[in-house]
Homo-oligomer: A and B are copies of this chain.
């Protein structure tokens, strides 16, 4: 028996059409390359997205065609999130921090037809130019740049349209956007999001117990927008009629803190490394920045250490850990407390909040070890597997089908435990575990412990080959004041870890290497320290 309900597809364009109609006066703030802030409105976003739709349509972009972007978090980027999918085309946001070889491969693999690129990123494009074949290239020139040969002005393109777009009928499982994983193994792989997956992810992410989006929020993605649809923020923000702040290219901590406080931002999403920098800068200038008392921060891309939750709490800012991957849209779990947990001692509360958390509504998460599904004991580790309406069922072009189980779950490669309350805690990436003398050591646990020490700013722990133990942990740290005391650190770690789990050596560096998306680049560290000579073999 079928229902008598309307079959209205969930489409990205419904979000912007509603916001343009119901929330036209809501402000969109966007920082230009010169630091000036452009103030426009949701009405402008709606109009310009429609202009983009019409222009693309008139230029021959048909449903399913890919339109690529190389842009910062800027209002022109935001409008592509709506203008491209509205006519059934597919927005392909390029991670411009990747190696040109990878970028060229990705563009060719995705068969991108058009490119929209910011003038300040033309150097990225020039490195690719000879290896890719865009039919048309539109430059957001900020009215200043001389356009390179073969490129056109994005603003002129928008202005060229006569009349609005003709919205084609779309099915909700049609492609709306795509991103390639910046994974360090194998070739980059494309994930193709649907209108449905984007809409459902936006609804779930907006719930009060998840990231909690309201029209009373001012939302600012600090994570680069090319990274997994800007974590879904543009969609959730527009769906709820939130005010939006786009930070542009200047990601220096002081500039971001100025923007956050001057614009009274209330909801941020960012990776831990940037947040760490924001905290450090705030500490260096006590009282300089006054945050909105509604400010809450979704952190993802990596696990935030407990110490980060404590530091933000002191500023009256709620940090919320989320977890996911490009393949999961990205948010699959969020760690907010259950009512009874609010009465726990502070240490336990922080431990709970620092976990990856509970599966969102309509998503299923399980942790699978060699013995089958792991019991919820907080100890048994296994790989996280995920299933749900905003989880990828395959890669574009059918690459690496072995990432999915026979019964249809995505195998994330993240190693985790589940506690008795159902909270997932990532202990490591499969490839980041250290196997010493047949026993596993979690590099993540050691890193989290190290950054809680007063002398340490950042820490990475990697496996280094060892003549006796196969592998041993080596800690690479950025000290706070130029020096560390290895014996003190060892003693500090031994309070929480078995002796054999503690790193054998501590190396000081000025900074750690990060991927384009702010993840610690352990492959680089493993290369750099591959020939490390142990003092005590």
Contacts and interface: CB of A to CB of B under 8 A. Distances in A.
Interface string A384-426: 0001111111111000000000001010000000000110000
Contacts of A207: 203, 206-208, 213-214, 240
Given A359-B18, A359-B22, A5 B393 contact: yes
B422 A194 contact: no
B193 A3 contact: yes
Contact of A194 (B2, B387, B410): B2
Contacts of A388: 6, 8
B1 A174 contact: yes
Contacts of A191: 4
B389 A4 contact: no
A80 interface: no
B197 A208 contact: no
A212 interface: yes
Interface in A1-47: 1-8, 10, 14-15, 18, 21-23, 25
Contact of A203 (B14, B63, B190, B204): B204
Contacts of A206: 207-208
A94 interface: no
Contacts of A285: none
Given A2-B173, A2-B174, A215 B361 contact: no
Number of copies: 2
A338 interface: yes
A162 interface: no
A295 to B, nearest CB: 15
Interface residues on A, range: 35 or more
A248 to B, nearest CB: 24
A176 interface: yes
B4 A393 contact: yes
A239 interface: yes
A196 B5 contact: yes
Contact of A197 (B3, B23, B90, B361): B3
B64 A361 contact: no
A37 to B, nearest CB: 19
Interface in A148-181: 173-176
A361 B4 contact: no
Interface in A324-362: 338-340, 358-359, 361-362
A477 interface: no
Contact of A1 (B64, B209, B358): B64
5 closest cross-chain pairs (CB), A and B: A3-B194, A1-B64, A208-B214, A6-B393, A5-B197
Given A2-B192, A6-B388, A6-B391, 9 more contacts: A1-B192, A3-B175, A3-B193, A4-B393, A4-B396, A8-B391, A25-B340, A199-B362, A209-B241
7 contacts: A3-B174, A3-B176, A4-B191, A5-B194, A6-B408, A15-B361, A18-B359
